[in-house]
Amino acid sequence: MEREGKIFIIIINYNGLSDTLKCLKSLEKVKVEKYKVKTLVIDNASQKNELAVIHQRFHKVITVQNNQNLG
């Protein structure tokens, strides 16, 4: 089946690893057949290296690390 379009999901994370992991687990359960889905997690300079945990558990998620909290 050919994909008709794209969906890009953007999640902002700031010291919220637990909530972000829950969100990503929930998104894994959603099946969208007509669209190509990409997920991006942007970390706004969390105190711990939360993106490493996210990337380790969700290999297909695109991650971006900001050096400061950009809001």
What is the tens place of the pLDDT at every residue in 21-71? Answer: 999 999 999 988 899 999 999 999 999 989 999 999 999 999 999 999 987
- pLDDT of residue 19 exceeding 70, the answer is yes
In a domain? residue 32 = yes
Which pLDDT score, from 0 to 100, does residue 15 have? 97
Residue carrying the six token digits 């969208």: 32
Which pLDDT score, from 0 to 100, does residue 1 have? 60
Range of the domain at 18: 5-37+46-66
Dihedrals phi, psi of 50, to nearest 5 degrees: -70, -30
In a domain? residue 71 = no
In a domain? residue 62 = yes
In the chain, the number of structural domains is 1
Which pLDDT score, from 0 to 100, does residue 71 have? 79
44 forms bridges with which residues in the sheet? 66
pTM, rounded to two decimals: 0.88
**What is the C-alpha to C-alpha distance for residues 19 and 6, in angstroms, rounded to an integer?**
25
Query: Could you give the C-alpha distances from 33 to 4, 9, 30, in angstroms and in order?
Result: 9, 16, 10
In a domain? residue 13 = yes
Residue carrying the six token digits 């959603």: 30
pLDDT band at 4 (very low <50, low <70, confident <90, very high): confident
